[in-house]
Amino acid sequence: MAPNYVMIVALITFICFPLSFGDDAMLPTHNYLIAKPNCNGSCGNISIPFPFGMTPDCILRDQFLVTCDSSLNPPQPFLENSSIEITSISLAGQLNVLKLISRDCYRDGISTNKTKPMISLPSLLTVNNTVNSFIAVGCDTYATIQGRYTKFGTEIEYLPYITGCMSMCYSIDETDDNTCSGVGCCKTSIPKGAWNRPITLSSYYNYSYTNMTNNPSCNYAFVVDQANFNFSKSYLSSLQNTKKLPLVLDWAVGEDKCEIAKRNSTAYACKSNNSYCHDDSNGYRCSCMKGYDGNPYLKDGCQDINEYVNPQPDYMCVKNAICNNTDGSYACTCRPDFSGDGYPECNRDNPQRKIQNIYLIIGITAGVALMVFIIFSWSYTAFQRRKMSMMKEKFFQENGGLVLQQRLRREEGSSHTNTIKIFTADELKKATNGFDKDRVVGQGGFGTVYKGYLKDNCIVAIKKSKVIDRNQIEQFINEVPILSQINHRNVVKLLGCCLQTEVPLLVYEFISNGTLSEHLHDKLKASALSLDIRLKVAAETAGVLSYLHSAAYPPIIHRDIKSVNILLDKSYTAKVSNFGASKLVPANQKEISTLVQGTLGYLDPEYLQTNQLTEKSDVYSFGVVLVELLTGRKALCFQRPEEERSLAQYFISSVEKGHLFNILDDYIVCDEGNEGQLKNVAVLAQRCLNVKGDDRPTMKEVAAELEAGSRLKHLWDQTDQHSEEIKSFLHDTQPLGFGYEYSEHSVHIDSITSHVTLPFPGGR
């Protein structure tokens, strides 16, 4: 503990003794220049530093004009003549402001109060994309923000952007404080350099289903400083009384980079001799050099710092030394009767002997330190290897590896069990080249899919899921053998899994021809999809769903049927994928109460309103896919006119008006002999899209109708659907869940986050 006492004595001496030595010790701090000479440097309690100012002759550019409203108490500054209230201006390049929020209120399904404030900033001011987020609050809310942002390169570009998010809930009781993940509150980021941001705010169902009838139901959207906003469920009503929220802006003094700006000496903004220029994201800014402080945009604005009166982090004068301020720096000298240069020590004894002792100590210390470093490095490497091995074993056990191995051994002799392999983490890491981002072939709400090459050159798809709830590991263990035993030619086959990572990795067969969505919505690829191919894909997909609903035991509801989850091989054979949201139907139960999960545009409206999941929910989603096949249009697109945004509603409306052939894809209506066939398929799709689930056909009926009407029926007749291709994939009768655990009275949700995906073009 002796060194601590020495340090305390040194600190006391250092503070007290210099007061008696040298003139610089008593120098007062500088009053640095903030505003331009003869200009007011504050509005109320807010400092207004140059290049900002409150009159045209007190600013550097018109974009930095500040209006001071003296009618308020205290007076408040505003950016130019806008409603953007300034709370602080930093010479480090940030502007803190208060901004109006967007609001849209409904009563009895009718919009009663709608405000749409927007912000349009000068080119030198942009919305800070790291501390701000775009947030929407409400129980039936979708909000988008679009505008332009500045991209700086060899030339300055002003590019458009659009992003947004959706917030849904049935009542305020479903929301959680400090949680903004889509239930009552959602948030997303904005692009770097954004300076123009109009906000579109609306209700998807006009609050017709929410349980908030006592007060007007309102939507809110705003860009806000994340550090000053924590969501509270009370905001669903109290935000009606909030007009403004904090926002952080970035500002630059010029649009050019430093190298270009310096060429124009008159326009170059770094005026102080002790300043320097540095590039920023939207131009350039100026700062005072080390050892100086003040305003770099004013002549003589950067003044020397007295390091003793205003200590700096690297203040180095030691015990028995005096600090002498110099221009931009400082010097240390030893007190009288002490020898040395003020650093590292001031000593009373022979300085030469002291220096020799110091060198000796340094040499010994360096040698010991080198030996310690070598020993530590070797030990650390061995420890890391041991730690990695233990971590892999820990993850393997936590992910249920032992239980899964035992279960697979029990089922090895079963004739209907496919071979499933448990891969090591190193195998899959090598197969994906360390999970290289260039190997990513798909991303979704449940994880990322990588293309991998195994040792035998077999190409596989490796799904890396998001972190799952450790309480649901048993369901994952059940799910792997279940998926491995689905033996249907139109279902993507599960080959194996890896349990040595924090989240289990699933290995599937690789389907090379992309998704049905890619083929339908790409003009070049869509031209190759004839009506026969489209009806073949529809019939194969319907056959899978019919099998899951009727032939599998217990029955399975896929719950996320959409064109993105239907893969195509080189012969355009359909392969249904992504069972991450699927649910097993317990015995003697036709419907399941769950939180709503799925993708807007495909989501069963009856399920959305009642939270009751049935097999008919898959029928509705398949109906939307069938309409996609007929029209070539996306299921939901906010860039289309309002009456055409929802493909399902627009299709039903067109059929009822007799305009069927006006909305069909041009690639399938060129043959005059297929009109009757198209009408029959359209009627089938219309039946699948009935609002009431009881009025929809079963998937078994749908598959039978498509099979009977398909020109490729003979390909289906060659397959005995009761042979080894379609089997009951659970030979034990235990009802196992796809990510869910059932009990007599409750449903426990797993780690897969319930979500509703809103496909904003160009956004998130």
Q: What is the pLDDT of residues 611-643, one digit of tens each?
A: 889 999 999 999 999 999 999 999 999 888 988
CATH 3.30.1360.20 fits 401-509, yes or no: no
End-to-end CA gap in the chain: 58
| Better-predicted residue by pLDDT, 8 or 498 | 498
Which residues make Cβ contacts (< 8 Å) with residue 637, sequence separation at least 6?
644, 645, 647, 759, 761
Residue 753, judged by CB atoms within 10 A of its CB (0-12, 13-18, 19+), counts as middle
The answer to which of 196-210, 476-490, 572-586 has the lowest mean pLDDT is 476-490
Angle, alpha carbons 655-658-663 (nearest 5°)? 60
Distance CA 624, CA 634 (A): 9
Give how far the C-alpha of residue 505 lies from the chain's centroid of Cα atoms, to the nearest Å: 21
Bridge pairing between strands 598-599 and 756-757:
parallel
Coil, strand or helix: which one is 749? Answer: strand
Q: For the stretch 558-591, what's the b/e string if a residue is b when 16 or more beta carbons lie within 10 angstroms of its beta carbon?
A: bbbbbbbbbbbeeebbbbbbbbbbbbbbbeeeeb
Write the DSSP assignment of 596-639 as a string of letters.
--EETTTS-HHHHHH-EEEHHHHHHHHHHHHHHHHH---SB-TT
Confirm or deny that 319 is annotated as ligand binding.
Answer: no
Bridge pairing between strands 125-127 and 244-251:
antiparallel
535 is written with which tokens?
Answer: 């009806």
127 is written with which tokens?
Answer: 């919305």
Distance CA 119, CA 121 (A): 6
Secondary structure element (H or E) that encloses residue 294, with its range: strand 292-294
DSSP state of 184: S
The phi and psi torsions of 3 (rounded to 5 degrees) equal: -55, -30
Catalytic: which of 104, 560, 665, 750? 560
Q: For the chain, what percentages of helix, strand and coil (3-state, to nearest 5) are there? A: 30, 25, 45
- The per-residue pLDDT of the chain, averaged, comes to 79
The answer to which of 144-148, 333-337, 404-408 has the lowest mean pLDDT is 404-408
Angle, alpha carbons 634-636-637 (nearest 5°)? 85
Do the Cβ atoms of 179 and 167 come closer than 8 Å? no
* Secondary structure string (H, E, C) spanning 629-640: HHHCCCCECCCC
Whose CA is closest to 599, among 648, 558, 562? 562
For residue 683, pLDDT beyond 80: yes
pLDDT of residue 42: 93
Distance CA 473, CA 391 (A): 17
pLDDT class of 314 with cuts at 50, 70, 90: low
pLDDT of residue 11: 38
225 bridge partner residues: 132
Distance CA 548, CA 486 (A): 9
Secondary structure element (H or E) that encloses residue 157, with its range: strand 157-168
User: Superfamily for 516-718?
Assistant: Transferase(Phosphotransferase) domain 1 (1.10.510.10)
pLDDT class of 714 with cuts at 50, 70, 90: very low
Distance CA 144, CA 620 (A): 27
Q: What is the pTM of this model?
A: 0.45
Which residues make Cβ contacts (< 8 Å) with residue 519, sequence separation at least 6?
513, 525, 526, 528, 529, 568
Secondary structure element (H or E) that encloses residue 147, with its range: strand 140-151
For residue 472, pLDDT beyond 50: yes
Distance CA 708, CA 680 (A): 11
172 is written with which tokens?
Answer: 């305020």
Most confidently modeled range among 162-171, 377-386, 670-679 = 162-171
Every domain of the chain with CATH number 1.10.510.10 lies at 516-718
| Residue 560 is among the residues annotated as catalytic for this protein | yes
Coil, strand or helix: which one is 646? Answer: strand
pLDDT, average across residues 280-305: 89
For residue 392, pLDDT beyond 80: no
Every domain of the chain with CATH number 3.30.200.20 lies at 401-509
pLDDT class of 321 with cuts at 50, 70, 90: confident
pLDDT of residue 535: 93
| Better-predicted residue by pLDDT, 683 or 393 | 683
